[in-house]
Amino acid sequence: MGQWAYLWATVGKGAQEIGVTEVVHYEPATLSWHNASRLHYCVKHRLPTYVQYWGCNSN
């Protein structure tokens, strides 16, 4: 399991529906996931390719 992932969810319904994407980082010390700043991590290929593509190139 890697320490980086992205989460995607649809919020709302019908005309008010919107897709939301977050990049998250796993902290082994606390056994928990935390939101990662896309402004900081979605540049200069700091993330694994898969997370960079799907987590950083959407809303």
Helix (H) or strand (E) holding 53: helix 49-56
Instruction: Specify the DSSP element, H or E, that contains 38.
Output: helix 38-41
Q: Which domain holds residue 21?
A: 4-56
Total number of domains in the chain: 1
Residue 59 has pLDDT above 80, yes or no: no
Rounded CA separation 27/46 (Å): 17
What is this structure's pTM? Answer: 0.79
pLDDT digits (tens, 9 = 90+) for 6-55: 999 999 999 999 999 999 999 999 999 999 999 999 998 899 999 999 99
